[in-house]
Structure 1
């Protein structure tokens, strides 16, 4: 019994060390006190690219084809401790006005056309796509808002959810694809005030350059007037000082 208790303690300690290691993993790696903001990323040619079936968000006339990788999981076999591969061909989830997943790109197609055009030629990871339906009803401007990872900020050779998340916007046909948040600012959240036709968002900035985002860093506040075509980013301070 004592031996079993000792093993349990070791396993708990190993789990604690593993969790602490993950928690301490920085989102930004600085090299010689300089950060490479836009290093070109290579496309992994070993991954199998597929597209989900297209979706048509209510109130738009453009089909969206999510592009991503076939996902392969190692799962335990029911015949013993051996592992077997399980393949998933589903890369997105969709509700009425939002598309979520991990996409490399999106292809846009007018519902009356066979022509397809990509959202971007950058190597990125798209995590959410939201159609601002209430803004479309109020202003007739049809806009998509994205949360995206566009830089390998932790320098592990991959663009994924362990890197900084950014905020982007485009028209509902994928054109005018524009970054709103600043480079190396982690997106915290965003919201829309319909009566103002404004998109508000917050970011956190690693001002002490320790590679992590914590209570010693600065939270920044911005808004964009969606009534204008320029999408000018304005900073503001809700604390009033």
Structure 2
């Protein structure tokens, strides 16, 4: 009996080891392409999209229509045996709690409250995780800006845009104009913070190119002056 238990233990260990080894890294590097080359996928016009009801941040004149896909969830239950699986459909794209919108957002349509015309945020394929209105900045300076945490590339090459890919930081005006990327390509966004008229953020770079972000990699510190006409990140070192 002990011999069988030992064999089972060994098999389980080998299985766990193999499972761990097959986990997909967060970045798959394209060695054949130039390191400076950046390509973004365009939105697939054949996909069926839906939009949430519009959201308007307090004190602004623009409506934001979050756009996304219908999501089907497998409940794992069955009414007439295992061959029939029940599923649930969600038409909810986003959640709003001032001053932030979160959800599974693939694009945003912007509309002035007194107009019927709508303009998209981007023509590139993205998964927007959060949109934050800088309400404190607006009160102090009348500058109305939005900050985005999003995925703009399928960095792990699994065919999906989700939080298993590298998260990046973007900014735009309240009407979606001047949509600008702040983090460098293949730098994972850690966090960001608004202090007075400056936006500070941290990102991590996969220095050893092993596809994972860990303690052996480098953390970068940057900020932008939001009152400037162009948002050019400046590097600083809080460690001296």
Q: Place the TM-score, normalised by the shorter chain, in its bin.
A: 0.7 to 0.9
Number of residue pairs the alignment of both structures matches: 232
Q: Which residue of 1 aligns with 2:27?
A: 28
**Residue among 101, 104, 107 paired with 2:106:** 104
Scaled by the length of structure 2, the TM-score of the pair is: 0.87
Scaled by the length of structure 1, the TM-score of the pair is: 0.86
Q: Deviations over 1:117-172 (max 9, x none)?
A: 00011111111000000000111110000001111111222222111100000000
Q: Partners of 2:21 and 2:45 in 1: how far apart?
A: 30
Q: Partners of 1:45 and 1:85 in 2: how far apart?
A: 26
In the alignment, structure 2 segments of 5+ residues that lack a partner are none
SS in 2 for 1:201: strand
Give the 5 Å matches for 1:78-227. Answer: 79=79, 80-81=81-82, 82-194=84-196, 197-227=197-227
Q: In 2, are the aligned partners of 1:38 and 1:151 still within 8 Å (CA)?
A: no
Structure 1 residue 102 displacement after superposition:
1.4
Q: Partners of 1:13 and 1:86 in 2: how far apart?
A: 37
Give the 5 Å matches for 1:228-239. Answer: 228-239=228-239
Q: In 1, are the aligned partners of 2:110 and 2:175 still within 8 Å (CA)?
A: yes
Assess, with a 3 A threshold, how the Cα gap between structure 1 residues 39 and 228 changes in structure 2: closer, same or farther. Answer: closer
CA RMSD of aligned residues (A): 2.6
SS in 2 for 1:59: coil
Question: Where has structure 1 moved over 2 Å in runs of 4 or more?
Answer: 12-22, 31-48, 76-82
* Range 37-46 or range 103-112, more displaced: 37-46
Assess, with a 3 A threshold, how the Cα gap between structure 1 residues 33 and 216 changes in structure 2: closer, same or farther. Answer: farther
* Range 96-105 or range 42-51, more displaced: 42-51
